[in-house]
């Protein structure tokens, strides 16, 4: 389910009152692939509720350049929300999800193995309230860039 972030913050508060362990992760999710699915499955196993922050189109352009995203934010958010491991999705405009993490106060913050602990936005925040930061193994061979390169090679080569 895709929710506006203020409403999601309230939902997370209520879930915590009922003893639910909330896991948070984020990303652009521009062209879903198996690496994304495996990553979200791993994240989901770390708690009761998986919340995913999806970068808005503006945020993706700041991070990845003017040719991205390939798909609009509403479509990306809806696709992520439709995945079995995911309970809630919200969009965030900032370059990092740090302020969103502060609002949602997850018990677990998850990033993929291509991140080093010192570069994970919001890690110190989560640990400050007793939460944990988990880096799940990177699924090699899967990336949006690789998918785009494969399409170009197959359909645009002479």
Residue 16 DSSP one-character state: H
State the average pLDDT for the chain.
Answer: 94
Question: What percentage of the chain carries pLDDT values higher than 90?
Answer: 80
- Which pTM was predicted? 0.93
**pLDDT score, position 158:** 66
| pLDDT at residue 107 is higher than 90 | yes
**pLDDT score, position 82:** 98
DSSP for 42-72?
HHHTTSSEEEEEEE-HHHHHHHH-TT--SS-
Asked whether 121 and 102 are in contact (CB, 8 A), the reply is: no
**Spatial CA neighbour of 128 closest among 107, 97, 100, 99:** 107
Number of structural domains found in the chain = 1
| pLDDT at residue 147 is higher than 90 | no
Its domain, for residue 131, covers 5-156
**Spatial CA neighbour of 91 closest among 25, 5, 1:** 5
Which CATH number is 50's domain given? Answer: 3.40.50.620
Over range 94-106, report the average pLDDT.
97
Asked whether 107 and 22 are in contact (CB, 8 A), the reply is: yes
**pLDDT score, position 37:** 95
What residue has token string 């018990």? Answer: 107
**pLDDT score, position 145:** 83
């Amino acid at each position: 389910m895709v929710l506006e972030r203020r409403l999601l913050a309230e939902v997370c508060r209520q879930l915590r009152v009922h003893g639910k362990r909330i896991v948070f992760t984020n990303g652009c999710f521009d062209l879903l692939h198996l690496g994304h699915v495996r990553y979200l499955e791993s994240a989901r196993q770390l708690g009761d509720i998986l919340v995913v922050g999806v970068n808005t189109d503006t945020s993706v352009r700041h991070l990845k350049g003017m040719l991205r995203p390939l798909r609009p934010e509403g479509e990306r958010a809806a696709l992520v929300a439709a995945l079995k491991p995911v309970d809630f999705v919200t969009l965030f405009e900032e370059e990092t999800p740090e302020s969103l993490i502060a609002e949602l106060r997850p018990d677990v913050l998850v990033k993929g193995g291509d991140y080093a602990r010192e570069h994970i936005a919001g890690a110190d925040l989560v640990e400050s309230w007793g939460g944990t930061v988990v880096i799940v193994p990177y699924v090699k061979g899967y990336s949006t860039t690789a998918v785009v390169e494969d399409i170009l090679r197959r359909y645009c080569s002479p």
